[in-house]
Structure 1
Amino acid sequence: MFNKYHGSTLSHSLVQIKCAPYGGLNPPHTHPRAIEILVVVEGTLYVGFVASNPENRLFTIVIYLRDVVMFPVGLVHFQFNKGNTNAVVFAGLSSQNSGVITIANVVFSLDPTINPDVLAKAFQLDKNIVKQLQFQSWWDNN
């Protein structure tokens, strides 16, 4: 479980993110119009981002109290609490309208849905598994 509190002004945004212990997650997502900078104010988080093509390389780190990490514009990134205490971070975004694209939501919960044949081939999954993923409630997966 995680909670977000959002405020914005002067073409920047500030978000407080609280990740519950033992699996609190801000799932893989992107901000198409902003850099995100996190500052840890409580706990620790496992965070990462995926560099874009052609490398598609995952960069991860565990961040602790007062650590800062930056996620470049448009790259897929996440925060995950593997610890036994709450984790709280402030995220500064370089745009008042940063946008957010949560990967699972846009791939599996569109209405109308993406044809399961397309997703089965794209992810090399059985079509029935794709249909199960499309049936899930992705908006409340935190």
Structure 2
Amino acid sequence: MTSPASAGNSPPPLRLRLKPAGPATGFVDGAWWPRSTDLTAELAALNGALAERLGHLSRVSYELFAWDPVPRRFTAGEIQIRLEGFRSHPRNTITATGPGRLRISLLVVPPGTAESDARHAMATAAQPGNTERPDEIIAGAALPRTAGA
């Protein structure tokens, strides 16, 4: 039997939707709805979830001003991940790269977005054959743009 104290220690489920595996289509390969703007806190779970498609994460590029400041490298378990923030990175996205330059681009649904809006954006981004740009998905779901938009 689990005690109430230990039940609260499990991490909340990852909010991630990916297009089915196959040839890449469109601008994003799915969507991720992190719970905070602390990229390093959010990446450990994302690393595990993307491992089936990428192996482990080796690099994550992101929009510089959308996240709290982070170190250039981050260790998740025994894996070291290079973090690269760019002013010119497409808004509301991250690009996760694994060994062999495999990569996945994800729409990032801003933390704090209303659940119905977030779920709509995630479903749209993960729809097979979807070719909308991230800003079109954000606008269609009435989501706030990240800082600097």
TM-score by length of structure 1 reads 0.28
Q: Which has the higher helix share?
A: 2
Q: Which has the larger radius of gyration?
A: 1
TM-score by length of 2: 0.27
